[in-house]
Amino acid sequence: MSTAVRVAGYGFVTPLGHDTERFDAQLFGGHSAVRAQPVALPGLPPTQLAAAACDFDDAAQRAPSRLPMDRGTAMALAAAESAVQAATEAAPFDPDPERLGVFWGSGMGGAGTFEATCRALYADQRRMRPTTVPTTMPNAAVAELALRFGARGAALTYACACASSAVAIGEALRALRAGWIDTAIVGGHEAMLAPGVMASWDAMRVLAPVRTEADAHRACRPFAADRAGFALGEGAAALVLETEAHARARGARSPLFLAGYATNCDGMHITNPHAPGQARALRAALRDAGLAPSDIGYINAHGTATVAGDLAEAQSVADVFGDGVPVSSTKAIHGHLLGGGGAVELVATLRALARRCLPPTAHLDAADPAFALDLVRGGAREAPGLRYALSNSFAFGGTNAVLVAGRDG
């Protein structure tokens, strides 16, 4: 028996912008924020990697704990403040602290701060700051969010690589349905555009190469025949979720809701995706939402643009849905936010539902002929009857997470 949970508001800090107007213009216009980023490290030849950075001043954010904050934590705080503001604009939002939870995802926590600390210690031989641990620990963001909003119901961090924030959101959905809490601030972040972290990803040979600075924005081409890997990104997205009863009690009526969620594990390989495992997750999410494949009008794909990743996802989607559902990947324009990706892509899915318009996969000139999918390309597509949509997150480690979102009417 599934129970829908209302999306009271959402906020974000992304390479596509930090407000809905700018985000929509970039998302539905297929305008890429990916650029060539120089990477210079001692002992390694200088190079350029494709990445999508946020125009965000983390130094302007103040931590509720009054401790230094990693850039990712600052993004998380800004996104959550925007989400709560949006929820408050609809109706007064004054949750019971004992019934308010924070569920947050991050794949690498305070990666940038940790790298800077290591360089200070080993290269510059400087003393480490006593705040290093509370700044870099994976649950630093959720701790600051709990302090900021006075949450006492739960403060939980999920680290499931690229599925981290999707799992966080889904587990909050379960907690709300179970009646453990009434409201939740959920989402995820990642801020990893530090030289060493980027070089580590490049060493895995999963990043799209930069041929020239002029065409770096086209480096990530999900589902294309000539796809060559993904572009890293940074950012955060947050949502305020609440039960139907809580929404009614405060006089709010959001048309958007979460209808279902599923997570499972391939249990097959640490990095290679497994189409049968993804298909099981897709079917489980539909069962959880009480929906049939034909009810789904859009899938925001994980779509990293790696050769193996896109193939496995195309196979799993085709297995469950055939070629009857439109699919696109927005990673082509905002990059791969790892732990923050699930949350940002759920926001993109909610914007598709709100506008009843499907964002395109940018740079998809020639699709891989091996894919039997209805790929949205060449521009946004109107979807006047759209009521339900999926957001996929399939992670290193074999964790699969699928969220089902819907809208009334």
How far apart CA 48 and CA 43 sit, in angstroms, is 16
How far apart CA 144 and CA 34 sit, in angstroms, is 29
- Out of 274, 336, 357, 363, the active site residue is 336
Residue with tokens 């940002």: 344
State the helix-helix crossing angle for 111-122 and 195-203, rounded to 10 degrees.
100
Q: Is the dihedral of CA 129, 133, 138, 142 positive or negative?
A: negative
How far apart CA 388 and CA 174 sit, in angstroms, is 19
Phi and psi torsions of 141, nearest 5°: -65, -45
- Out of 18, 189, 302, 334, the active site residue is 302
336 catalytic? Reply is yes
Taken as a whole, the chain contains a residue count of: 409
Q: Mark out the alpha helices in 290-365 (DSSP H runs).
A: 307-321, 331-334, 341-355
Q: In 3D, which of 234, 243, 239 has the Cα closest to residue 82?
A: 239
Bridge partner residues of 357 (DSSP): 382
Joined tokens for residue 73: 């934590």
Within the chain, how many helices (H) and strands (E) appear?
Answer: 12, 16
Q: Is the dihedral of CA 110, 199, 201, 305 positive or negative?
A: positive
How far apart CA 161 and CA 341 sit, in angstroms, is 10
How far apart CA 262 and CA 288 sit, in angstroms, is 7
Residue with tokens 């230094």: 68
162 catalytic? Reply is yes
Cα–Cα distances (Å) from 170 to 105, 144, 165, 385, in that order, read: 11, 21, 8, 25
How far apart CA 70 and CA 141 sit, in angstroms, is 9
Residue 259 Rama label (left phi>0; alpha psi -120 to 50; beta): alpha
- Out of 54, 162, 220, 357, the active site residue is 162
Q: Is the dihedral of CA 85, 88, 94, 97 positive or negative?
A: negative
3-class SS of residue 353: helix
159-185 burial, b at 16+ Cβ within 10 Å, e below that, comes to bbbbbbbbbbbbbbbebbbeeebbbbb
Residues labelled catalytic = 162, 302, 336
